[in-house]
Structures are given as C-alpha cells and as structure tokens.
C-alpha cells in the first residue's frame, strides 16, 4: 500500500455500496487517508481489512459525525445511492458540522437539485457519466477520451487508413478536421510529441484534441 499523504487532511466516504467502496479503495491506493462510514455492520466488517479506517455510524446524525471526528476532515463524499433521504440528510449533517468540501452522488436531476440546495458543493452522476462514456467508445472508433465540456476533448485514436503515410503538414488536421494532433505512438515505440514533419504510420495511436464531435469525426475517417 502506498504511503499516506499527511498534508491533505483525508477524506470521509459515506456509504459503502459498490460506488462508495470502490471510491474509498481508489483514494486509499492513491495515498490518501480515508474514513469510510456506513451504518450496515456487514459492509463495515467486509471492508475493515481493506481500508484504513471503517466506522459503523449513522451519517445523518450531526452528533455522531462529531464523535467520530468528521469535522476535522476537509472533504467528504456522500456515496449513498439506495436512499435519497439518507443521502440528503447526510449532506445536511456534513454541512452542519462544517465540512468545507462536500461531494454527493445523485441518482436523478431532482435528487441533484435537492443535494445542491442543502449545501453539497459538487454533485456527481457516476452511473450516467460512465454510461455516456461507454456509449461513445462502443459506437465510435475512439480508443479512449476525456471530455472537458461540450467544446473540448482529448482522445486516443488510431491513424485513419486514408491518412497513412502522410506528414501532418500535408494532412493539415486543424484546417481540414478541426483537431490538433498532440502526439503519436507508433507500434512498439515510445510516445512522441507531434510536429509538422510527423508521418502518420499505420497502426500508430494518436493523441488529438478538439470538440467531441470533431474528434469523433476524425476517428471515423476511412
């Protein structure tokens, strides 16, 4: 297990369902101190050997949160998905005890509005975001991508067959397709940053940037 970061103050993860447990485990692997909280004794027992600190507690009660030291943590994530009431009351309790940054999982737009209204600073939709991401990868030729809003994305794509053997100065990807090629990784070779002289080799993986529509369009070139 990696060394813990003593200067980040740690993270409270409320709810040890599938999402919360994997989130807590990922944060732990990244070297962060995690306090995982759930009222279900079976879940607490299951994860007690895999996480540094697992507490059986009612996260909707302010006094309980104070007793276990949650107000000392700078960040908390409410990962509860099965109960909207428990999710909202947990956020409200975290606000009342003064946690500076509260992230909360929402299962619907209405749920998200309620979470924001009671004080959640960040609302996330893990199922919806994962579903949209997988859908893009299934129906396009992108190998992977990160989207930063509707107007910007960075993606990995294979060199389109129609462009094999051409230099970027010939292809002019910005002018013709609206994307910038940042780098290329030929088969069996290390990644290299791209220049006008970079020749697009068959089977190479390119890192490109542009809007999600432009990146998808570039990936789909024959």
Q: Write out pLDDT tens, residues 78-120.
A: 999 889 999 999 999 999 999 999 999 999 999 999 999 999 9
Torsion of CA 86, 88, 94, 96, to 10 degrees: -120
Co-location of 16 and 112 in the same domain? yes
CATH number of residue 33's parent domain: 3.40.50.720
How much is the average pLDDT of 134-157? 79
Half-sphere exposure of 147 (CA within 13 A, CB side): 17
* pLDDT confidence bin for 138, thresholds 50/70/90: low
Coil vs helix vs strand at 43:
helix
Record the pTM: 0.68
* pLDDT confidence bin for 1, thresholds 50/70/90: very low
Largest CA distance in the chain: 67
Co-location of 115 and 189 in the same domain? no
Q: Taking a C-beta distance cutoff of 8 angstroms, is the pair 51, 34 a contact?
A: yes
Co-location of 15 and 75 in the same domain? yes
């Amino acid at each position: 297990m990696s060394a813990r970061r003593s200067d980040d103050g740690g993270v409270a993860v409320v709810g040890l369902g599938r999402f919360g447990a994997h989130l807590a485990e990922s944060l732990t692997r990244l070297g962060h101190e995690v306090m995982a909280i759930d009222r279900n004794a079976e879940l607490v027992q299951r994860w007690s050997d895999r996480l540094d600190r697992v507490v059986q507690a009612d996260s909707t009660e302010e006094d309980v949160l104070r007793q276990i030291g949650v107000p000392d943590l700078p960040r908390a994530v409410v990962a509860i998905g099965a109960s909207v009431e428990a999710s909202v009351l947990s956020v409200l309790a975290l606000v009342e005890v003064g946690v500076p940054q509260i992230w909360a999982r929402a299962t619907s737009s209405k749920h998200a509005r309620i979470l924001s209204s009671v004080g959640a600073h960040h609302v996330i939709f893990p199922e919806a975001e994962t579903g949209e991401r997988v859908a893009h990868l299934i129906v396009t030729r992108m190998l992977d991508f990160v989207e930063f809003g509707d107007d910007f994305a960075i993606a990995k794509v294979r060199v389109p067959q129609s462009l094999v053997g051409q230099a970027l100065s010939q292809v002019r990807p910005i002018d013709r397709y609206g994307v910038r090629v940042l780098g290329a990784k030929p088969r069996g070779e290390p990644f290299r940053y791209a220049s006008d002289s970079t020749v697009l080799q068959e089977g190479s993986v390119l890192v490109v940037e542009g809007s999600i529509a432009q990146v998808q369009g570039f990936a789909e070139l024959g």
